[in-house]
Structure 1
Amino acid sequence: MIVRGGRAIYGESVGILVLDTKFPRIPGDIGNATTFDFPVRYQVVPGATPEQIVAAPDRARALLPSFIEAATGLERDGVRAITTTCGFLTVVQDEIAEAVSVPVITSSLFLVPLLRRMLGPKRTIGVVTADAHSLSDAHLRAAGIEPGWRLLVRGMQSSPSFGTILGTDNDTDHALDVDQARRDVVAACQAMQADAPDLGAVLFECTNLQPYATAVQAATGLPVFGIYHVVNLLHSAVVSPGFTHGYL
């Protein structure tokens, strides 16, 4: 067997564009490498803070050159697919995808059309987002979500436990109360279920919510989707499993 080189590092299947943050990335968070069973490669985009990206769709577009530079750098480093740590980046999906030759999925929101097919058009999909006031029609349309779909959106913007993630607090230690955050996320999802008895699934737009999926599922009994599934989808597509351990 002959293999060819040309790079300094190898073995990282998915590249992840990371917002410029300082809050803790606990296991389950896309920004914690132990979340995944395979190596991933991170690239921080300088200046792309949550306050910038979540504020309005045009903020992400203003930083598009930085995102493209980071994405092309990841491709040069050998990743086979790319995603991001912020679901609000749907608005620059096409531009980033066109700038590289590997598959790109910028947000878990792109799963919503699939979930709608899975559940049928008459069931509600619950979307939990970092800030419901900032998740605009432009973000949803960019993900292929059409007006009139049964979508219920809840935001974590009023939760004090998420202040460090959203950049709305002044804690220089960037402390995160994990237990309180878990309770707040569960409460948000239970409230959605109470408001929509036909709720068929929960989708985490915010990539920082995945650590609480187990608690949400236990409390609601619903399927919970998020960026974790996107990353695993990308990895399994670009590094096909060999099935060498199977048997008949």
Structure 2
Amino acid sequence: MPDSSEDPLLVDEHHHHSRGRQRLWLSLKYHPRRVAEVALLLAMVYVEWMGITIIAPLTPWFRKKLSPEMDGGAAASIMVASYAVGTTVGSLISGPISDRIGRRPVFLVGLTLFAASYFLAAISWNLMSFACFRALGGLASGNRPVFIAFLADISDPRDSAFYGVLLATTVNAAISIGPMIGGALALVKLEFPLYLFGGISCVLLVLLFFVLRESHHDRSTTDAGGHVTDIAYDDRESYPNRWLFPTIAMLALTAFCAR
């Protein structure tokens, strides 16, 4: 799905001076693959963030199946919080990792682990195994910082507000609709939502494998004709995030106090 060979600078100027449907048409006409990449990544974010609340209405039945002797409130807290904790940790580490190895590997590996976690959660044998697999899924889905970095890599700063609205709308819609989708799908079978979302994740993984390109490059060099002649990864030194462990400690303390 190659992009158009039109002069990208000229296209971008037309793009930023256009509005509404004309702007969308220019994007589809001159950058179809880039539009496909962003659309697939937004679908991935939607599925991953829906995972936070998809099992919320199903916790009484999962508790009855996996750990009937445990208190209902404690079991529900463990099942829901495990995913959120994993997402928090994943969000803290995914950005620095993508700076070192690239955005594409982080997306693909994360989506692979995410799909696997849903299939494993569907066949979990007790509440602790279910919580561990859910935490793995949350960890794999904590790639929103990578998506933001991807958008910064590929877009003009003038488009930041537009992409910010897209991302926020996607996340909020996913979290809001998750309980309704989970409850409706569970009418087929209790584990059906987990199998279905695992399958959807596999489909997205295959599509992203063939469509998604690496975006984290250093400045490219061009020849006299303006064509890219060399693109290299950014070799600038990456500094450790000194706030990583204090942040995790504060989150753990907050969770303990709330409990």
Q: TM-score range by the shorter chain?
A: under 0.3
- When the two structures are superposed, what TM-score results if normalisation uses the length of structure 2? 0.25
More strand as a share of residues: 1
- When the two structures are superposed, what TM-score results if normalisation uses the length of structure 1? 0.26
More helix as a share of residues: 2
Higher relative contact order (CA 8 A, sep 6+): 2
